Amino acid sequence: MSHSQIGLIGLGTMGAMLALNIAEKGFDIAVFNRTTSVTKTFHENAGALASKITPCETIEALVHAIAKPRAIILMVPAGDPVDQQIAALRDYLDPDDLIIDAGNANFHDTDRRAAEAAKAGPRFLGIGVSGGEEGARNGPAIMGGGEQQDWDRVAPVLTAIAAKFDGTPCAGFMGKGGSGHFVKAVHNGIEYADMEMIAEIYGVMRDGMKMSAQACGDAFAKWDDGPLKSYLIEISGKVARTADPDSGKPMLDIILDRAGQKGTGRWTVIEAQHLAAPVPVIEAAVMARNLSARLEARKEGQDLFGAAPEALPEGTLSADDLEHALIAGKILCYAQGFEMLRSANAPFDWDLPLPEIALIWRDGCIIRSAMLDDMARALTDAPERNLMYAPYFAALLKTHHAALRKVVGVAARYGLAVPALSMALSYFDTMRTERGTANMIQGQRDFFGAHGFERTDRDGTDFHGPWAM
Ligand SMILES: NC(=O)C1=CN([C@@H]2O[C@H](COP(=O)(O)OP(=O)(O)OC[C@H]3O[C@@H](n4cnc5c(N)ncnc54)[C@H](OP(=O)(O)O)[C@@H]3O)[C@@H](O)[C@H]2O)C=CC1
Ligand SMILES: O=C(CO)[C@H](O)[C@H](O)COP(=O)(O)O
């Protein structure tokens, strides 16, 4: 009866695919879903893998189907559903059984659950899983956080199901408490930023260069053969080239321009503010999703001011300009994400393995990209250095920042909104300006609040100006 090596709760998009992946790798798995018919249908459709899967109609039956000490994966929405499942499991689990939250949790919740588990058990591990439905089925990237011994206990299963890059599993232990979910949140922040910059370049092609969806798709497909090679560029090409079977129109022409979001990008920028970690491209991407939801207001604005985008004169921008701008933007947004990871170490007493994170992200996850191998090398060479200053990426930025400036400049001139690309450029310019303008901020603060300032010509921190009120 109790023969399953692992259990899983939540047979939705991700959970169902993870369960099949686990069964396919040879592990016996017991599964439970809140809606029983889903469990039945899942098992009926599992084909040759059905014999490895024990469908359970109650939490109690699930627990009894798993060999001790038990390990149970939760794949349910973040927040209350996770706490509800933990509470339901507590009635049946032993203190040394292990609950693994594999959904997208806010890492503060994971910290709290880990602390509660440490007091009374059962044990708790928080793992970030990325790769969407296809990744869950064929190999996601996995970032674990909690107690090393708990990670070690389930690592054979997690590394078996993870994506492999040149044979190396894209799975690793990030550190204690919520560190795995923190790394996953930053991953999602980079995901938001990369998606937004791609969408902005699509907007320049569609509204500025009057290119069809098919032509935009062709451009993305071509770039997927070069330095931009990545999952997001690949699927953007596929999305742009797909036609709606009902109307025959390009899918992009019938999809409403209102972006959904489940909260991970927002968690990232809120945490970035707490950490004083500058992630302006990610912030712009979250802001753009929020603005996209304001359909009525945008219509009112267009009626009042006239439509913003204007067609560009022929030859204003080339395909190379767009590709090079995206290369620069991509380097800068990943650099910001890694800087944010590093800035979390001191306050949370973590030692996030930045080079290993880049290695893990090389495959399986949504932000997988040809650049990540070089990022891993750069972070191994100098773990404390901002990626934009690493020789390989500095050389790319020296070559391509002019295109980023050109695209942002042209977009501003012709009314094409490119907030994330603009933020990438501002970050780049700020990070290469030795003497900035915060001296004026300090002068203002001292003028109105006697907050004091430092001087360029003397040591000390509390100088004041001879301001006339
Ligand atoms: N979709 C994706 O690309 C990715 C999602 N994730 C994360 O994985 C988790 C699951 O996402 P996904 O599979 O997409 O979600 P789905 O909406 O497809 O599935 C949700 C699952 O959770 C169950 N569920 C929902 N609410 C409760 C509850 N209160 N108690 C018990 N079970 C509940 C549902 O059961 P029922 O059938 O009864 O409704 C269903 O099995 C989320 O945390 C998500 O953020 C992570 C990476 C990628
Ligand atoms: O974690 C994921 C990918 O890595 C999920 O697909 C997540 O839902 C994406 O975020 P959002 O729904 O906010 O776009």
The DSSP code sequence of 75-89 is: -S-SSHHHHHHHHHH
Last residue of a domain, one of 177, 199, 217: 177
Summarize the annotated binding site for substrate as residue ranges.
104, 130-132, 187-188, 192, 262, 289, 445, 451
Which sign, positive or negative, has the C-alpha torsion 245, 247, 252, 258?
negative
Residues 373-419 pLDDT 10s = 999 999 999 999 999 999 999 999 999 999 999 999 999 999 999 99
Contact 75, 102 (CB under 8 A): yes
Residue whose C-alpha is closest to residue 129's, from 49, 13, 282: 13
Closest-CA residue, ligand 1 atom 29, reads: 81
List strand residue ranges (DSSP E) for 146-283, in order.
164-165, 168-169, 171-175
Q: Based on the fold, state whether residues 289 and 336 are members of the same structural domain.
A: yes
Last residue of a domain, one of 177, 199, 224: 177
Q: Based on the fold, state whether residues 292 and 383 are members of the same structural domain.
A: yes
Residue 156 pLDDT exceeds 80:
yes
Residue whose C-alpha is closest to residue 79's, from 290, 274, 264, 340: 264
| 262 φ, ψ (degrees, to nearest 5) | -100, -5
Last residue of a domain, one of 430, 446, 463: 430
Residues 80-107 pLDDT 10s = 999 999 999 999 999 999 999 999 999 9
Q: Based on the fold, state whether residues 194 and 62 are members of the same structural domain.
A: no
Residue 272 pLDDT exceeds 70:
yes
Instruction: For residue 189, give Cα distances in angstroms to 221, 223, 281, 306, 397.
Output: 24, 23, 9, 33, 21
Please list the residues that pair with 130 across neighbouring strands. 141
300 noted as active-site residue: no
Summarize the annotated binding site as residue ranges.
10-15, 33-35, 76-78, 104, 130-132, 187-188, 192, 262, 289, 445, 451
Contact 374, 393 (CB under 8 A): yes
List strand residue ranges (DSSP E) for 327-384, in order.
none
Residue 468 pLDDT exceeds 90:
no
Contact 91, 81 (CB under 8 A): no
Burial (CB count within 10 angstroms: exposed 0-12, middle 13-18, buried 19+), residue 248: exposed
* 21, 56, 76, best to mutate for ligand 1 pocket (most atoms within 8 Å of CB): 76
CATH code of 99's domain: 3.40.50.720
CB of 268 shorter than 6 A to ligand 2:
no
**Which pLDDT score is estimated for 67?**
97
Two tokens, residue 333:
């947004």
Looking at the domain assignment, is residue 445 inside a domain?
no
Judged by DSSP in three states, 123 sits in: strand
* Residues across the chain: 469
Looking at the domain assignment, is residue 464 inside a domain?
no
Average pLDDT over residues 232-239: 98
Residue whose C-alpha is closest to residue 279's, from 292, 270, 288: 270
CB of 377 shorter than 6 A to ligand 1:
no
Instruction: For residue 113, give Cα distances in angstroms to 126, 139, 291, 418.
Output: 9, 27, 34, 40
Q: Based on the fold, state whether residues 160 and 222 are members of the same structural domain.
A: no
Of ligand 2's listed atoms, the one at least distance from the Cα of 367 is 4
**C-alpha 262 to ligand 1 mean position (Å):** 11
CB of 45 shorter than 6 A to ligand 1:
no
Closest-CA residue, ligand 1 atom 16, reads: 12
Contact residues for 198 (Cβ-Cβ < 8 A; gap 6+): 220, 232, 233, 236, 326
With tokens 């980079």, the residue in question is 190
Q: Based on the fold, state whether residues 121 and 154 are members of the same structural domain.
A: yes
Two tokens, residue 435:
């003497």
Cα–Cα distance measured from residue 9 to residue 14, given in angstroms and rounded to the nearest whole number? 11
Q: Based on the fold, state whether residues 289 and 421 are members of the same structural domain.
A: yes
Contact residues for 267 (Cβ-Cβ < 8 A; gap 6+): 106, 107, 185
Q: How confident is the model at residue 2 (pLDDT cuts 50, 70, 90)?
A: confident
Of ligand 1's listed atoms, the one at least distance from the Cα of 11 is 41
Looking at the domain assignment, is residue 304 inside a domain?
yes
Cα dihedral 213→219→220→224 (10° resolution): 160
Two tokens, residue 47:
């084909």
Determine what percent of the chain is predicted with pLDDT higher than 70.
100
Closest-CA residue, ligand 1 atom 9, reads: 103
Cα–Cα distance measured from residue 53 to residue 41, given in angstroms and rounded to the nearest whole number? 12
Q: Based on the fold, state whether residues 172 and 190 are members of the same structural domain.
A: no
Q: Based on the fold, state whether residues 37 and 89 are members of the same structural domain.
A: yes
Contact 176, 145 (CB under 8 A): yes
Looking at the domain assignment, is residue 457 inside a domain?
no
Residues 342-376 pLDDT 10s = 999 999 999 999 999 999 999 999 999 999 999 99
Looking at the domain assignment, is residue 193 inside a domain?
yes
Q: How many CB atoms lie within 10 A of CB 213?
A: 20
133 noted as active-site residue: no
Q: ipTM > 0.90? A: yes
With tokens 């001292």, the residue in question is 446
Q: How confident is the model at residue 112 (pLDDT cuts 50, 70, 90)?
A: very high
Q: Based on the fold, state whether residues 260 and 172 are members of the same structural domain.
A: no
Looking at the domain assignment, is residue 443 inside a domain?
no
CATH code of 364's domain: 1.10.1040.10
Parallel, antiparallel, or unpaired for β 6-9 and 71-74? parallel
* 13, 106, 267, best to mutate for ligand 1 pocket (most atoms within 8 Å of CB): 13
Residue whose C-alpha is closest to residue 140's, from 22, 261, 223: 22
**C-alpha 155 to ligand 2 mean position (Å):** 24
* 14, 106, 191, best to mutate for ligand 2 pocket (most atoms within 8 Å of CB): 191
CB of 263 shorter than 6 A to ligand 1:
no
**Which pLDDT score is estimated for 1?**
62
Burial (CB count within 10 angstroms: exposed 0-12, middle 13-18, buried 19+), residue 113: buried
Q: What is the identity of the amino acid at 222?
A: K
Of ligand 2's listed atoms, the one at least distance from the Cα of 191 is 4
Of ligand 1's listed atoms, the one at least distance from the Cα of 16 is 13
DSSP 8-state symbol, 243:
B
Contact 355, 379 (CB under 8 A): yes
Looking at the domain assignment, is residue 437 inside a domain?
no
Looking at the domain assignment, is residue 451 inside a domain?
no
Largest separation between any pair of C-alpha atoms in the chain: 84
> Which residues span the domain enclosing 173?
6-177
Ligand found nearest the CA of 19: 1
Burial (CB count within 10 angstroms: exposed 0-12, middle 13-18, buried 19+), residue 112: middle
Catalytic one of 184, 196, 200, 330: 184
Contact 333, 197 (CB under 8 A): yes
Domain count for the chain, please give it.
2
**C-alpha 125 to ligand 2 mean position (Å):** 20
Q: Based on the fold, state whether residues 232 and 373 are members of the same structural domain.
A: yes
Q: Based on the fold, state whether residues 30 and 172 are members of the same structural domain.
A: yes
Mean pLDDT of the chain: 97
Q: Based on the fold, state whether residues 401 and 255 are members of the same structural domain.
A: yes
Residue whose C-alpha is closest to residue 89's, from 10, 17, 27: 10
Burial (CB count within 10 angstroms: exposed 0-12, middle 13-18, buried 19+), residue 263: middle
